[in-house]
Amino acid sequence: MKKIILSCLIIVVILIGGGLVLQKVNFNRLGADQLYTQIKGQGKMIEDKIDNGEKIIRYEYKLPSFDKNGQQQTLSFTSPKQLKENAYLMLYTKKDKGVTSYQEVAKKDLPKKVSEKLK
């Protein structure tokens, strides 16, 4: 009887732990390279219709981006909202998928070589 209760308790703990991991971990950022960019311009508005006829609006940005060593790449990505002009972003990229995620960062958090390039 003790073994059954212990087994059930272990299963519950694993399920709860797995659920928390799924909520907190952004799998689009795991194993991704990090590049930095600054928003310049309003982005190109793209309208799509989904099956039920609802309109989806996205904004496409094509910007020069820099790795921590200051090497430049031009990347294209979309956002569900218009991003703030002059905001600094950390882009998460994967070779086979392009930009998978992004987050806004403060200028003081940029690597030194990137900060010099994004003046």
Mapping DSSP onto H, E and C, the string for 7-37 reads HHHHHHHHHHHHHHHHHHCCCCCCCCEEEEE
Note the pLDDT of residue 66.
94
What mean pLDDT comes out for the span 47-69? 91
pLDDT single digits (tens) 72-98: 999 999 999 999 999 999 999 998 888
Residue 100 pLDDT exceeds 80: yes
Average pLDDT along the chain: 88
H-only helix segments in the chain: 2-24, 112-117
Note the pLDDT of residue 25.
67
Length reported for the chain: 119
Tell me the C-alpha distance between 102 and 63, whole Å.
13
Return the closest-CA partner of residue 115 out of 13, 59, 107, 8. 107
Note the pLDDT of residue 96.
84
Return the closest-CA partner of residue 46 out of 36, 55, 33, 35. 55
What mean pLDDT comes out for the span 69-74? 91
In this prediction, residue 4 has a pLDDT band, given cuts at 50, 70 and 90, of: confident
Name, in order, each residue with C-beta under 8 angstroms of 116's C-beta and a sequence gap of 6 or more: 70
